[in-house]
Amino acid sequence: MALKATIYKAQVQLSDIDRNVYCDHSLTIARHPSETDERLLIRLLAFALNAPSEPDAPPLEFAKDMWEPDEPSLWQKDATGRVEHWIEVGQPDEKRLLRTSARVDRLTVYSFGTSTLIWWKGLETRITRMRNLTVWQIPSDQSTALATMAQRAMQLQVTVQDGSIWVGDGSRSIEVSPRRLWGPTSE
């Protein structure tokens, strides 16, 4: 018997001062049985950091990455169905990055956990030709702290200013300071 996804609901109030994006999102997230609270919250964080800034822009959507190996964690498609922005959460291999980079306008990776720098050191010299790739490291202590906010029904406030991010749930706030490992500085 196959295990089923657990459904999470999140009300996200976003104030991204750096990009001048202020909006509320009601999100439904399917959590794969093998997905951790930490990874779930990093997917939510990736959504908040990449939410479209224009009201008429194509929506950013959660994809089926853990169910379908040919899909990312999140993606943004144009009206024709072509993927404009592909977002990975975790530590994808070089072949996946190369294949995806050739098909999309933007490719973003959010890596977390203590093994991020080991993964990155083994990869960085081989991906220098990927000009549309941006790789972020979420410090493991911060991603672990985010995991404590996971609830089946969440109300989160995400504030972004000067490259720092604060995620609050009404009773506490966690600062997240992503570190850019690779990619353009204006994203």
Q: Report the pLDDT value the prediction gives residue 3, as an integer from 0 to 100.
A: 80
Does residue 1 form part of some domain? Answer: no
- Angle among Cα 106, 135, 66 to the nearest 5 degrees reads 80
Q: Report the pLDDT value the prediction gives residue 55, as an integer from 0 to 100.
A: 85
**Which domain does 133 fall in, by range?**
6-182
| Count of domains forming the chain | 1
Full pLDDT tens readout for the chain, 187 residues = 568 999 999 999 999 999 999 999 999 999 999 999 999 999 999 999 999 989 899 999 999 999 999 999 999 999 999 999 999 999 999 999 999 999 999 999 999 999 999 999 999 999 988 999 999 999 999 999 999 999 999 999 999 999 999 999 999 999 999 999 999 876 5
Does residue 158 form part of some domain? Answer: yes
Closest CA to 138 of 76, 89, 96, 71: 89
| Residue 5 exposed, middle or buried by CB count within 10 Å (0-12, 13-18, 19+) | middle
Which CATH number goes with the domain that contains 67?
Answer: 3.10.640.10
DSSP 8-state secondary structure symbol assigned to residue 4 = P
Does residue 70 form part of some domain? Answer: yes
Q: Report the pLDDT value the prediction gives residue 187, as an integer from 0 to 100.
A: 53
Q: Report the pLDDT value the prediction gives residue 129, as an integer from 0 to 100.
A: 87
DSSP 8-state secondary structure symbol assigned to residue 93 = -
- For the chain, give the longest Cα–Cα distance: 48
Does residue 187 form part of some domain? Answer: no
Does residue 49 form part of some domain? Answer: yes
Q: Report the pLDDT value the prediction gives residue 88, as an integer from 0 to 100.
A: 98
Does residue 159 form part of some domain? Answer: yes
Does residue 80 form part of some domain? Answer: yes
